Amino acid sequence: MSTQALLIGESFIGDGVNAAHINVVFGHREGPAGLAWASALATPSAGHVPFVAVLRPSLPVKPLTLFVTKSAPESAAHGLLIWGPAQAGVAAGVADALADGIISPEQADSHVVIAAVWVNPGANDAELVYTNNRESARTALENGVRHLPNTNDVIDARNSPSNPFYTPKA
């Protein structure tokens, strides 16, 4: 992967209020991903404070991963689900991608990840939030590295889009 290469992945895992939806940007620290990573960390906005995902305090995951919430905390409980199980799940999912060879050991020190993470304000199960975010982070990185989805799959699905919040009437 060149310094300028920028990979983007997406994954939606689970259902209901504890589902996880993650978008990732993965690329070299010296390319556009690194610039975006540093810029996002340096420019928080009200309710959206990017932070480095850690496996435990003082042990950031590699590649360094910036956790960016897509939803401002609506309550103390929602904030705890974002900072606790969702963040831990993202860190573990990135580490899974590294352990599984989706991310190479060399990329662990030369690349960065930006994870845009949705935690539903109605989420109510910390273990499901953790598990779904772990799988979603790993899957989003794999999808980015593999350049998924396949273009033919996109073309085939264009007349029947759906998501957990809306399905058009036939």
Chain segment 40-52, per-residue pLDDT in tens: 999 988 888 899 9
Q: Could you tell me if residue 80 is inside a domain? A: yes
**Each residue's pLDDT tens digit, 121-146:** 999 999 999 999 999 999 999 999 99
Token pair for 2: 């060149």
> How many other C-beta atoms lie within 10 A of the C-beta of residue 131?
19
Q: Could you tell me if residue 166 is inside a domain? A: no
Q: Could you tell me if residue 159 is inside a domain? A: no
* Residues with catalytic roles: 21
Does 159 have pLDDT greater than 60?
Answer: yes
Residue (of 99, 39, 38, 49) closest to 71 by Cα position: 49
Average pLDDT of the residues in 76-93: 97
Q: Could you tell me if residue 170 is inside a domain? A: no
Q: Could you tell me if residue 158 is inside a domain? A: no
Q: Model confidence at 3, in pLDDT bands (50, 70, 90)?
A: low
Q: Could you tell me if residue 71 is inside a domain? A: yes
CATH number of domain containing 128: 3.30.230.60
Q: Could you tell me if residue 28 is inside a domain? A: yes
CB distance 31 to 24 below 8 Å: no
CB distance 29 to 15 below 8 Å: no
Q: Could you tell me if residue 106 is inside a domain? A: yes
The CA distance from 156 to 123, in Å, is 33
Domain that holds residue 43: 6-148
Structure pTM?
0.94
How many domains does the chain fold into? 1
